[in-house]
Amino acid sequence: MSVTPSIVAPPFRGRIGCDVRSGHYAVPHRYRLHLTPSSPGCLGIAVTHSLLGLDQTVPLTLLPATPDTADGGYTALRPLYEASAHQYAGPAAAPVLGDDWTGRIVSTHVPDILRDLALRFRGDGPDLVPEGREAEIEAIGDLCARRVNRAAQHAGELGLDERSAHRDPLTVLFAALGSLERRLARHPYVLGSAPTAADVQVWVTLVQLDTVHRWHLDAAAMDRVADHPALWSYAQRLAGQDEFGRHLDIDALAAGHRAHCRGREAAGGAIRIVDWPSHRLD
């Protein structure tokens, strides 16, 4: 499978601080999220935003699934980018956490945005980054990124002969899924009895695996992927919760994937493991 890089905005890395000395301090109605349903990173931000109940505190603007400029960006975001970087010429891509007071970008970096929402704008929602669990949440995020998403992509790139000469990415993938299966066989959520940022990461990763990466895995591999009952029961249960399921647009995610993936299709895409909500968001 040949994958070309997706359009990625430059790494604006501003952070929301605790007080006015930070420059970007936490205050209601100052910041706005700009998201698109075609991005897995945006999906994770939207779920976090809903779990924390931030509709009034940090307004959210949903952009179309399909970019409206040739470079893969959005015309609506162009003023923010040009105000934030002198003579900016790249794509005006989502996600963006913008500052309505200054008309500039705070951040386009998904992990930073997720962390600042959870720590600076918790509101009445759950504690998504419990004190003392930060390292575990970071480790789960790394597992999702490298040992599930990346491994699933690489498994589609390598033929059977090539796998014998490399560390088989399917072995990495199944080990990661097995680790998550054991956790979820004991607890309703990844870190125990309550949802955390780790659940957002794992759920979005499972959505990608079952709706996007499966197209590049053969049927035998997908049978083994499906053979994790606690994991997929968890994925279905969270999809039924409004905070998760209402942001999911399968068609948009597939279109976003096709825009940058040139991989071969395999037999694994025939039937999904989970009956995901089939929303098309306006």
- CATH number of the domain within which 204 lies: 1.20.1050.10
The answer to the question of residue 199 being in a domain is yes
- Residue 279 placed within a domain: no
**Residue 236 lies inside a defined structural domain of this protein:** yes
263 secondary structure, DSSP code: P
* CB under 8 A, 24+ apart: contacts of 230-236: 230/181, 230/184, 230/185, 231/177, 231/180, 231/181, 231/184, 231/206, 232/206, 232/273, 232/274, 233/184, 234/184, 234/188, 234/189, 235/203, 235/206, 235/207, 235/210, 235/273, 235/274, 236/274, 236/275
The CATH number of the domain holding residue 81 is 3.40.30.10
Please give the pLDDT value at position 6: 44
Total length of the chain: 282
- 145 and 259: one domain? yes
Question: Is residue 282 one of the residues assigned to a domain?
Answer: no
Predicted model pTM: 0.90
Q: Which domain holds residue 263?
A: 134-269
How far does the chain reach from its first CA to its final CA, in angstroms? 32
**Cα–Cα dist 270/240, whole Å:** 23
Quick one: 110 and 152 in the same domain? no
pLDDT along the chain (282 residues), means of 10: 42 85 88 97 97 95 94 95 92 96 96 95 88 96 96 72 62 97 98 97 97 88 95 97 95 85 60 81 50
- Which of 86, 120, 154 is a domain's end point? 120
Residue 48 sits in the same domain as residue 165: no
Per-residue pLDDT, 238: 97
Q: Which of 91, 120, 149 is the last residue of a domain?
A: 120
Peptide bond into 277 cis (omega under 30): no
pLDDT at 244: 97
Note the pLDDT of residue 216: 84
Instruction: State the total domains in the chain.
Output: 2
Q: Same domain for 239 and 146?
A: yes
The pLDDT of residue 124 is: 78
**Distance (Å, whole) CA 239 – CA 275:** 9
